[in-house]
Amino acid sequence: MGFLEWLQNSRVGLWISESDWGYPIVLNGHAVGMAIVVGVVLMFCVRVLGYNKSLPATVFEKLLVVAWLGFALNAATGVLLFLGKAQQFIVNPAFLIKIGLIVCGGVSVWLLTRMFDQNPAWAQENDMPSRAKIVAAFVIVFWLGAIVAGRLIGYTLGPPPPPSIT
């Protein structure tokens, strides 16, 4: 039995894939986590891009902590969702693109917040430097792309693989 098959056949994997409540409960948690992380990150990025310049960027310091908590919720529920269809997800192009975009989005958010940590005066400025704006634009593209790719997963999954005969 392969590792992915073992994951799918674990108690959690079977609960996700076969119970009436497993998948919907975890998927709703995933949606909540996504709303938190993407909502906060997008607000921060549009501020960096110039929307509502009178709002100091410092207001996002505590909200970005909430965004990382949303990211943690999304990661945990994402792993659980993966357990239910591991063999199908691992070969699904939309899933692989989504994971790549999430990694790029997370690194970009980290890079943007690090830029602010290294340049504290930026948080008080009305107009942000162009390099911060470029990173913010990429953050938006990565996270919105991850959402679109995530939605495409359900439409691009093939039939489940046949059970292995041993």
> pLDDT of 38-48, one tens digit each?
999 999 999 99
* Chain-centre distance for alpha carbon 120: 27
Domain extent, residue 84, equals 3-156
pLDDT at 56 over 90: no
> Rounded CA gap, 52 and 63, in Å?
17
pLDDT at 9 over 80: yes
pLDDT in tens, 99-137: 999 999 999 999 999 998 888 777 776 778 899 999 999
pTM value is 0.85
pLDDT at 10 over 70: yes
Establish if 161 belongs to a structural domain: no
Establish if 62 belongs to a structural domain: yes
pLDDT at 160 over 70: no
**Dihedral sign of CA atoms 50, 56, 59, 64 in order:** positive
> Rounded CA gap, 42 and 33, in Å?
14
Count of beta carbons in the 10 Å neighbourhood of residue 24: 11
Q: Report pLDDT for 162.
A: 66
> What's the domain count of the chain?
1
Establish if 145 belongs to a structural domain: yes
> Rounded CA gap, 34 and 26, in Å?
12
> Rounded CA gap, 63 and 69, in Å?
10
Establish if 165 belongs to a structural domain: no
Q: Report pLDDT for 164.
A: 61
3-class secondary-structure state, position 15: helix
* Mean per-residue pLDDT, 29-34: 96
Establish if 163 belongs to a structural domain: no
pLDDT at 1 over 60: no
Q: Evaluate whether 89 touches 95 at the Cβ level (below 8 Å).
A: yes
3-class secondary-structure state, position 19: coil
> Rounded CA gap, 74 and 68, in Å?
10
The pLDDT confidence band at residue 153, using thresholds 50, 70 and 90, is: very high
- Residue 84's Cβ-side half-sphere holds a number of Cα atoms within 13 Å equal to 19
Establish if 78 belongs to a structural domain: yes
> Rounded CA gap, 36 and 34, in Å?
5
Establish if 166 belongs to a structural domain: no
Establish if 68 belongs to a structural domain: yes
